[in-house]
Structure 1
């Protein structure tokens, strides 16, 4: 959420309560489920004490570590590029690849002049990347969504890290419609899609409704708060063949972010 910055880049780009803990290693007859983490790590704004950048990076890496929660895909928002670089370097030996999508760069007060944006990291091969420019005009920074086409356990899919605008919905709603349209086009091509991140708006509002309407299934329908008393972070599964989904919101860690981490699992019976 937030990050109202001075001036946007000019370059154009291509085109979920604190729930019961999810089992560490859920077992299902059809094979291992898809395990994902969505986390707005507040990598620029949450920089002064008591925030701890080392703990922030360790926490993200632990979610994907084979000795930790063993996530398959990580969706991060409000990330400084050096933070992304270190996370990827630490997870690459475990088979992770990633894509970083900057929204701002070269501003001394934003990530010390380093690029600032969003990221997606996935276990397995990345066959293609896309940077969806959802900006409709009037935003104080570009709204761009990095996506990867990933092959996970032999199945190709698109995975996108989402950070929509933090207004009253005037701009966020059309941004959401653009994203839902592109994600729907990928699904029409037979590719499952996973959208996760900070949507900055409540469930079933004009901003989030396009995803429900397009057939995406939210992993956490319980409306657990992820930012203060609000639920604004989501995992939307666009996987028609999944038969179950579960999610949990972890307690706020005030040394890392002003958002709570959202973890989700989806699988087949």
Structure 2
């Protein structure tokens, strides 16, 4: 029997941990904002996830993307979730610090879920549906690096995505997960379709856009850390930034991922200690 090809809808997704406080101290004029806008436009992104973003940088990006005529609706294309509220002596020069998302097409309302506490920064998962495609939901998160709380936060993240799917939504999930594809904690979430020497023992249902790369550590993908730390099963650096889709919605043959070096347009240095992750995400229609 010949099976018909699956109809697909594709989304160009950009995720980047921009180190807006640790490397830029909240600056909006040192090249970071321009580099983000240039990356969005240069890579043709229609959905954007940013971690470690300061509120003033988020506001500057709204103005810059409007000026570039990037959003279809300049009044409804961005959402922000503070994880550290602004305070004197805090990060970002006292302004809010958190995660942000941008969409070329208008967004619906955003849901902001606080993840199980690790005793430090109250980390969050933020999700918003596309206004004109309300069954497609985009999410961003920045999970903890505290080992004892990694699994509880991952369970909360993927549990919420599962709940959206049970309600009939297709979800694109992007973020800095502070775990790598081959970590044992990921086995229960990563799709069993992925079984390579570099990522095995999976029992879950989620695919990552770079896991089918036939050259760069198959099943694991390219490093997303700017300085090669020698980590990862292929020794080419660790991958902790990822873009996930449920295997039932994901059309692997029409999806790709690529981790690009951080632009060096912030005073001649790399703009972040993370690389820019680009995903061509094909969802079954």
Q: Which range, TM-score by smaller chain?
A: 0.7 to 0.9
Matched positions, count:
234
**Could you list the runs of 5+ residues in structure 1 that have no partner in the other structure?**
1-28
Give yes or no for contact 2:118–2:144 (8 Å, CA) kept in 1.
no
Quote the residue 2:280 is aligned against.
265
CA RMSD in angstroms comes to 2.4
Kindly state the Cα deviation for residue 191 of structure 1 after the two structures are TM-superposed. 0.6
Residue 101 in structure 1 maps to residue 75 in structure 2: no
Residue 234 in structure 1 maps to residue 242 in structure 2: yes
Distance 1:245 1:44, change over 3 A: same
Distance 1:138 1:69, change over 3 A: closer
Quote the residue 1:164 is aligned against.
143
| Structure 2 CA distance for aligned equivalents of residues 234 and 127 of structure 1 | 23
Residue 217 in structure 1 maps to residue 207 in structure 2: yes
| Structure 2 CA distance for aligned equivalents of residues 207 and 240 of structure 1 | 22
Distance 1:268 1:201, change over 3 A: closer
Quote the residue 1:114 is aligned against.
95
| Structure 1 CA distance for aligned equivalents of residues 247 and 78 of structure 2 | 21
Kindly state the Cα deviation for residue 204 of structure 1 after the two structures are TM-superposed. 3.4
The one of 86, 95, 116 equivalent to 2:60 is: 86
User: Which protein is bigger by CA-based radius of gyration?
Assistant: 2
Kindly state the Cα deviation for residue 70 of structure 1 after the two structures are TM-superposed. 1.7
Equivalent position SS for 2:22: coil
Kindly state the Cα deviation for residue 42 of structure 1 after the two structures are TM-superposed. 0.1
Give yes or no for contact 1:47–1:53 (8 Å, CA) kept in 2.
no
TM-score using structure 1 length: 0.79
Give yes or no for contact 1:144–1:163 (8 Å, CA) kept in 2.
yes
Structure with bigger RCO (C-alpha 8 Å, 6+ apart)? 1
Quote the residue 2:105 is aligned against.
124
Give yes or no for contact 1:177–1:210 (8 Å, CA) kept in 2.
no
TM-score using structure 2 length: 0.74
Runs ≥4 residues deviating over 4 A: 29-32
Give yes or no for contact 2:23–2:272 (8 Å, CA) kept in 1.
yes
The one of 144, 157, 161 equivalent to 1:179 is: 157
Distance 1:53 1:78, change over 3 A: farther
